[in-house]
Chains A and B, each alone.
Chain A
Amino acid sequence: MARTLFDRVWDSHLVAEPEGESPLLYVDLHLVHEVTSPQAFEGLRLAGRRVRRPDLTLATMDHNVPTDDRPADDLAAAQLEALHRNCKEFGVPLYATGSGREGIVHVIGPELGLSQPGLTIVCGDSHTSTHGAVGALAIGIGTSEVEHVLATQTLPQRRPKTMRLELSGSLPLGVTAKDAILGAIGRIGVAGAVGHVIEYAGEVVRGLPMSGRMTICNMSIEAGARAGMIAPDDTTFAYLEGRPAAPQGAEWERALDRWRALPSDPDATYDRVVEIDVRELAPQVSWGTNPGMVVSVDGVVPDPADFEDPAERDAAERALAYMALEPGTPIQEIEVDRVFIGSCTNARIEDLREAAAVVAGMRVHPRVRALVVPGSATVKRQAEEEGLDRVFEAAGFEWRRAGCSMCLGMNPDILQPGERCASTSNRNFEGRQGRGGRTHLVSPSMAAATALAGHFVDVRELALEPVA
């Protein structure tokens, strides 16, 4: 029978299918960070259990860490210290701050070559879906499940449904993977893929580099999906080859044979198929308080009265009140106070290059405070080798150390109440970047252009004008 990429990975990881219970799935790689793990380790300790496979587990520090010279607050420091202690006690390898390999957990997995096609990957974090870009089944889990995986290296999981999301056409100039996924979530809604694993397919996906594929898979959860996946191909293999954890020599050849057999059969069927043509897609800007509330940069803030569904109308009204926006306001008239370029969605080297190309030789608007936070220590080093740090700093951006930073404001980088921010992250929930803060999600080039202008601008128009 014809099978999908998902079917192949799922079926090959079934450890047991006990009658009347959830199937038990083997976990190939378990990534751990400081925020969702302390209670899991404590649970192991109380039950006298050990970590079954420390060799398949890797921890890093990302959510809490300050990205400049300010110290972590006492609670954050205690949580980071707890991760140190737990990793030591249970033998789990840890890339701590300063190790040179630390970074946002979803950036370092692929970067180290640990995230490989056909693997099952879990992490106590909803954006684990990012790793699906290499053709892995990567699932975000809660703390009880983290404990479960630490103890058993397996996860009881009900088989999810499958959705094929076909992105057809080709992305117009100035329109990025970020715009494609924001546009897609705007179309299918924030609950549009609940219970499903999305396989992204189509010409657009095939043409994207791994960074763009990761951006797309990263935001699967924002459509409610269990995971997002992309079939591995030569782009994937070229990305992985030579990375620290990638197979080498004869192993590499054997791995390639396995990986080439993973993609979905052409006649495979899915529970749902959605096709989105991106030829007319414009850069996207979110206007509300969930990632489905997006509009084209040449559009206006919508009028809640135009929503037919009462729940949506109600949500739109609340969102506009929170965001302090009037219906009908052109997006490009909205002024921002802060710009954040970073997060597991858009803080890989390619994202930083995209933003740097826009700001080179320009100045950040005097009202705007702008921040660039590389996704990992490795990205930071590479960017500095390429001189991107100097491009950003010369333009007036702050150049920081790796971490989640202002994506969630659990560390010193937060918005003040009422501040408005153009952000390359993935969530515009109320208070996400700081209590009372107002987040607009955009691509790296849009964020960069907005930093220069002080309000949203259409990056496509910038690109057409020769930059002096």
Chain B
Amino acid sequence: MKPFRRTTGRVAVLDRADVDTDQLIPKQFLKRIERTGFGEFLFYDWMQDDGFELRRPEAQGAAILLTGRNFGCGSSREHAAWALQDYGFEVVVAPSFGDIFRTNSLKIGLLPVTLPEDDLRALMAEGSGAELTVDLEAQTIGPYGFDFDAFDRRRLLEGLDDIGLTLRHEEEIAAFEAAHPSPIDTRALG
């Protein structure tokens, strides 16, 4: 995974609640078997509209997305996080996130920052195009601090591979398997 420490970049404001992953990346783009190249399909349907927030000149080249609550709700498609990252976003800031989207983002080094509504509103008031620094080490975004799980923080800062981390527990996994014979066998269904 790509490590994340700190970034300074332009902000894009998308002030909508409950933005679902079907909007982030519509299903017709889920047929690809690669992990890259999804950026051009980000918000595909909404992008057709000239007035869409991310089409505005000041939102171009943005690295930080400021958005509404429950961002990334809905489908588990990790393609949504891939598309945001591939488009150029490094950080998404919202009052809350869909659980699976948040996990998917953490897995690929796209930083999901949960910020209280008031602080977020103040940042949004600056508008798209404003410059902002997000520092995971210091846990700050502009003038505000944010909470972050200590383990996730370390994983992101060091760019740790989750599977590698888990495989350090090989002995425990094997011991668990020995003690708990599985009640099912998918190969024995005939």
> Provided the pairs A28-B182, A36-B77 are in contact, do residues A142 and B165 lie with their beta carbons within 8 angstroms?
no
Taken residue by residue from 111 to 151, chain A's Cβ proximity to chain B (1 for < 8 Å, 0 otherwise) reads as: 01010100100001110000000000000111111011001
Q: Is A360 an interface residue (CB 8 A)?
A: no
Picked from B78, B173, B176, B182, the residue with its CB within 8 Å of the CB of A143 is: B78
Contacts of A126 in B (CB 8 A): 74-76, 100
Cα–Cα, bound, A435→B169 (Å): 46
Q: Is B68 an interface residue (CB 8 A)?
A: yes
Cα–Cα, bound, A124→B187 (Å): 20
Q: Is A168 an interface residue (CB 8 A)?
A: no
Q: Is A159 an interface residue (CB 8 A)?
A: no
Using A26-B173, A145-B103 as known contacts, list a sample of 15 further A-B pairs with CB atoms less than 8 Å apart, ordered by residue number in A.
A15-B169, A15-B176, A39-B34, A55-B182, A57-B186, A119-B183, A153-B177, A156-B162, A156-B166, A194-B70, A194-B96, A194-B97, A244-B189, A410-B27, A431-B45
Q: Is B17 an interface residue (CB 8 A)?
A: yes
Within 8 A of A (CB), among B24-68: 26-28, 30-35, 45, 68
Contacts of B166 in A (CB 8 A): 24, 148, 151-152, 154, 156
Cα–Cα, bound, A58→B188 (Å): 11
Q: Is A338 an interface residue (CB 8 A)?
A: no
Cα–Cα, bound, A148→B173 (Å): 13
Contacts of A409 in B (CB 8 A): 27
Picked from A112, A142, A224, the residue with its CB within 8 Å of the CB of B103 is: A142
Contacts of A22 in B (CB 8 A): 151
Residue of B nearest to A77 (CB): B31
Q: Which of A16, A63, A101 counts the most B-chain CB atoms under 10 A from its CB?
A: A16
Picked from A119, A142, A194, A314, the residue with its CB within 8 Å of the CB of B104 is: A142
Q: Is A79 an interface residue (CB 8 A)?
A: yes
Residue of B nearest to A41 (CB): B33
Cα–Cα, bound, A410→B30 (Å): 8
Task: Give min CB distance, A430 to chain B, whole Å.
Answer: 6
Contacts of A142 in B (CB 8 A): 76-78, 81, 100, 103-104, 107
Q: Is A82 an interface residue (CB 8 A)?
A: yes
Q: Is A90 an interface residue (CB 8 A)?
A: no
Q: Which of B18, B154, B172 counts the most A-chain CB atoms under 10 A from its CB?
A: B18
Task: Give min CB distance, B77 to chain A, whole Å.
Answer: 7
Within 8 A of B (CB), among A194-237: 194-195, 221, 224, 226
Contacts of A435 in B (CB 8 A): 26, 45
Q: List 24 A-B contacts (CB under 8 A).
A: A28-B182, A28-B184, A29-B184, A53-B182, A54-B186, A57-B186, A82-B33, A93-B186, A112-B189, A124-B76, A126-B74, A126-B75, A143-B78, A147-B163, A148-B162, A154-B169, A224-B99, A245-B185, A311-B17, A314-B16, A408-B22, A427-B75, A429-B20, A431-B22
Interface size class of chain B, counting residues whose CB lies under 8 Å from the partner chain: 35 or more
> Provided the pairs A142-B100, A226-B99 are in contact, do residues A429 and B169 lie with their beta carbons within 8 angstroms?
no
Q: Is B167 an interface residue (CB 8 A)?
A: yes
Task: Give min CB distance, A461 to chain B, whole Å.
Answer: 33
Q: Is the CB–CB distance between A191 and B73 below 8 Å?
A: yes
Q: Is the CB–CB distance between B32 and A190 below 8 Å?
A: no
Task: Give min CB distance, B132 to chain A, whole Å.
Answer: 22
Q: Is the CB–CB distance between A429 and B70 below 8 Å?
A: no
Q: Which of B16, B78, B165 counts the most A-chain CB atoms under 10 A from its CB?
A: B78
Q: Is the CB–CB distance between B180 and A26 below 8 Å?
A: yes
Q: Is the CB–CB distance between B76 and A36 below 8 Å?
A: yes
Contacts of B172 in A (CB 8 A): 15-16, 24
Residue of B nearest to A26 (CB): B176
Cα–Cα, bound, A427→B74 (Å): 8
Contacts of B140 in A (CB 8 A): none
Cα–Cα, bound, A75→B33 (Å): 9
Q: Is the CB–CB distance between B96 and A116 below 8 Å?
A: no
Task: Give min CB distance, B53 to chain A, whole Å.
Answer: 12
Q: Is the CB–CB distance between A245 and B22 below 8 Å?
A: no
> Provided the pairs A36-B78, A152-B163 are in contact, do residues A315 and B16 lie with their beta carbons within 8 angstroms?
yes
Pairs A-B, 5 closest by C-beta atoms: A144-B107, A142-B104, A38-B33, A142-B78, A75-B31
Task: Give min CB distance, A91 to chain B, whole Å.
Answer: 8
